[in-house]
Amino acid sequence: MLIDSHAHLDDSRFNDDREAVLQRAWDAGVRKILTIGNGGGPDEMGCGVPIAESHDWIYTSAGIHPHDASKVEERHYGVMEQLAGHHRVLAIGETGLDYYYDNSPRDIQREVFRRQLALAKERDLPVIIHTRDADEDTIALIKMEMPSRGVVHCFTSGNKLADFVLDIGFYISFSGIVTFPKAEALVEIARRVSGDRILVETDCPYLAPIPHRGRRNEPSFVCDTARFIAEVRGIPRDEFATQTSANFDRLFTVKSA
């Protein structure tokens, strides 16, 4: 059993064959998926709810991506608060800072991130963090609000951020990027993260792992990333699957209906 801790099943690239994609994931042994509920911007927040309501093994989140921070109006936080109370919404995010693309001004990214950290803390929900080229500010903002639990998804940062998030009890989730050539530093982190703090994800439809690189990614491919990391860590695949599944269940507590 494997869990894809971060997918974008709402993406239009799945419009023609979404159910077939989910069936392939199930057949490959994927038993839970967390589909991110951000959509293409704050007006589409909650887009994961219909998928999560119609599949009992799929859960979702509510958040605003740093790319879309400049589109946020105050009312969107009200929508997020309401979604936070939905029984299929298990987390706030993805939210964070992306100084690589800088699609929104950095000061606005920081404020929108801070508000979501504060909401996660207030509701005692885990926060799903996206961070790129912004390790220092990510650490500073987490320290400022200190939500009780969270995960840095699609981890590509360095040792300092890894050590910080592990120190405060957060989790680290690896995507297919870890399977790419030249990912040695990342592989080193995937080797040393303790077994009770590691997760795997696809971040599909982006970032298909080797041997699917360049194709549309989908949840069944989480098996390839998991196999790669299990090998790096020198443990059987089954053991790694059991660990990451237990970690997911501990971090993303399923709500009663």
Q: Which of residues 175-204 bind Zn ion (CB under 5 A)?
A: 203
Count CA atoms closer than 13 A to 181's CA, side-chain side: 1
What is the x/- site pattern for Zn ion, positions 217-246, by CB under 5 A?
Answer: ------------------------------
State the nearest-atom distance from the C-beta of 239 to Zn ion, in Å.
27
Nearer to Zn ion, 75 or 158 (CB): 158
* Contact region with Zn ion (CB under 5 A), list: 89-97, 157-165, 172-180, 233-241: 89-97
Contact by Cβ (8 Å): 95, 66: yes
Q: Give the H or E element holding residue 121.
A: helix 106-123
* Distance between CA atoms of residues 119 and 159, nearest Å: 27
State the nearest-atom distance from the C-beta of 201 to Zn ion, in Å.
8
* Distance between CA atoms of residues 83 and 81, nearest Å: 5
User: Quick check: 130 binds Zn ion (CB under 5 A)?
Assistant: yes
What burial letters (b/e) apply to 84-97, b meaning 16+ CB within 10 Å? Answer: bebebbbbbbbbbb
* Distance between CA atoms of residues 166 and 190, nearest Å: 12
Nearer to Zn ion, 31 or 132 (CB): 132
Q: Which of residues 48-67 bind Zn ion (CB under 5 A)?
A: none
* Contact region with Zn ion (CB under 5 A), list: 46-54, 86-94, 207-215, 222-230: 86-94
Which parts of this chain interact with Zn ion (CB under 5 A)? 94, 130, 203
